[in-house]
């Protein structure tokens, strides 16, 4: 499973107190601090996924691809000298290999997949291959189309071996995959050997492929042309089993290791602009950006936008230059409705209280971490209220913590 590692100081479930109505609106994922006054942190001018958890990281393989670097002497960045010079802020990302789930789990190849030579790092297009290439792009994972790092498609679905990723579909079911893609189970034959499924793949309501697939085989939809590349695997799924239900009438198919990319391809070319960055080099192996046109002034108590959600945040200090990179994401925690009953000698109506996340203050350590900015709003007072028992405060606080933790750990771009 692909995840991003966060050191989350904001999620501390041991801090229990009265739960008030609030909306968690901003999550800040920060990198290691540069501090001109510190003997430890006054050389922190390069950040990868270890020093900056905002960058994409694959926990299972321990791989990352992104680097942000200030390519000038640390002595030039002080309280009285706060400028990142032109061409000195560099962002680099490169492609890495990844096995398709169906290849790594059941040793089945994918039509038009890639072969990968781990000795020289070369990808080769094949009629059947088990690999694709991917990379981080400003904190999100993308697929390098046909192995080209300068042609990026968002990874929409990547099911692994977890049992929760197994999809069981009844005959006639339409599986909505996202971005207008649907997979329809047109017919199932449980009497043939091997058993067979007739699958229909559509985009925006238009059928683009029909295929009869045997049990134990892989179905791959190939797009003839996408982003200037030909014969690109867009959708992959493995027909694990086809069976008749307990009623003896209904038929089902179980699909696993499903994989899907977007047809919207970002082609990165030299000279393209992304915020303060311009593309210096872009090829099938890597992409390098730099601040070609603008210096960046790390003014006291400021936030300097770089591209998208990537920013530098500068401390309010006149005696030292302290700053760190961050990604800032806006989220909303859904309201949790809790029914609380009150014991009494006579029957009493049960009132309903609506609560959301409480406001939490957290310390600000120097190391890379994630923090939350919490905005508190006052809830309207109902005409009749019932106080929540003490144990509900603990339960609700833990629930909200889990919601935010889930967002941070499983965030999708």
Domain 96-267 has CATH 2.60.98.40: yes
pLDDT in tens, the chain (413 residues): 444 444 444 433 333 344 444 566 788 999 999 999 998 888 899 999 999 999 999 887 789 999 999 999 999 999 999 999 999 999 999 999 999 999 999 999 999 999 999 999 999 999 999 999 999 999 999 999 999 999 999 999 999 999 999 999 999 999 999 999 999 999 999 999 999 999 999 999 999 999 999 999 999 999 999 999 999 999 999 999 999 999 988 999 999 999 999 999 999 999 999 999 999 999 999 999 999 999 999 999 999 999 999 999 999 999 999 999 999 887 776 666 655 554 544 444 444 333 333 333 333 333 344 444 334 333 343 334 344 444 444 444 444 455 545 544 444 44
- Contact between 232 and 146 under an 8 Å Cβ cutoff? The reply is yes
With a CB cutoff of 8 Å and minimum separation 6, the contacts of 261 are 143, 145, 153, 154, 155, 156, 234
From 4, 261, 273, select the one nearest 144 (Cα to Cα): 261
Domain boundaries, the chain: 22-42+295-409, 96-267
> pLDDT for 386-398, tens place per residue?
444 444 444 444 4
Indicate the DSSP class of residue 405: H
The CA distance from 373 to 291, in Å, is 29
Which of helix, strand or coil describes residue 397? helix
The CA distance from 394 to 353, in Å, is 15
The CA distance from 387 to 407, in Å, is 30
- Contact between 140 and 55 under an 8 Å Cβ cutoff? The reply is no
> pLDDT for 221-262, tens place per residue?
999 999 999 999 999 999 999 999 999 889 999 999 999 999
- Contact between 195 and 113 under an 8 Å Cβ cutoff? The reply is no
């Amino acid at each position: 499973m692909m995840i991003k590692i966060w050191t989350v100081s904001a999620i501390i479930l041991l801090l229990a107190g009265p739960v008030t109505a609030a909306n968690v609106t901003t999550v800040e994922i920060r990198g290691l601090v540069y501090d001109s006054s510190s003997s430890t942190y006054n050389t922190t001018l390069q950040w990868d996924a270890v020093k900056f958890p905002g960058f994409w990281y694959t926990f299972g393989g321990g791989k990352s691809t992104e680097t942000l670097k200030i390519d000038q002497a640390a002595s030039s960045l002080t309280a009285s000298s706060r400028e990142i010079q032109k061409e000195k802020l560099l962002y680099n990302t490169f492609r890495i290999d990844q096995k398709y789930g169906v290849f790594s789990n059941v040793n089945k190849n994918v039509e038009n997949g890639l072969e990968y030579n781990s000795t020289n790092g070369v990808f080769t297009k094949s009629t059947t291959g088990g690999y694709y290439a991917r990379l981080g792009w400003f904190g999100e994972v993308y697929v390098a189309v046909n192995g080209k790092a300068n042609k990026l498609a968002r990874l929409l679905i990547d099911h692994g071996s977890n049992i929760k990723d197994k999809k069981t579909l009844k005959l006639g079911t339409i599986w909505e995959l996202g971005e207008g893609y649907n997979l329809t189970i047109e017919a199932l034959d449980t009497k043939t050997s091997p058993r067979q499924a007739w699958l229909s793949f559509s985009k925006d309501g238009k059928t683009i492929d029909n295929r009869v697939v045997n049990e134990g085989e892989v179905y791959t939809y190939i797009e003839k042309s996408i982003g200037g590349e030909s014969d690109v695997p867009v959708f992959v799924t493995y027909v694990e089993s086809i069976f008749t239900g307990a009623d003896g009438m209904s038929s089902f198919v179980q699909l696993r290791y499903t994989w899907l990319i977007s047809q919207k391809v970002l082609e990165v070319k030299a000279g393209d602009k992304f915020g303060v960055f311009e593309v210096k080099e872009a090829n099938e192996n890597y992409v390098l950006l730099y601040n070609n046109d603008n210096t960046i002034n790390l003014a006291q108590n400021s936030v300097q936008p770089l591209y998208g959600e990537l920013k530098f945040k500068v401390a309010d200090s006149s005696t030292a230059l302290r700053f760190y990179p961050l990604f800032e994401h806006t989220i909303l925690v859904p309201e949790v409705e809790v029914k609380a009953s009150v014991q009494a000698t006579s029957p009493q109506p049960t009132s309903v209280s609506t609560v959301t996340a409480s406001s939490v203050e957290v310390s600000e350590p120097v190391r890379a971490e994630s923090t939350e900015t919490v905005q508190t709003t006052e809830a309207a007072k109902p005409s009749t209220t019932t106080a929540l028992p003490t144990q509900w405060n603990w339960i609700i606080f833990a629930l909200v913590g889990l919601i935010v933790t889930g967002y941070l750990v499983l965030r999708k771009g």
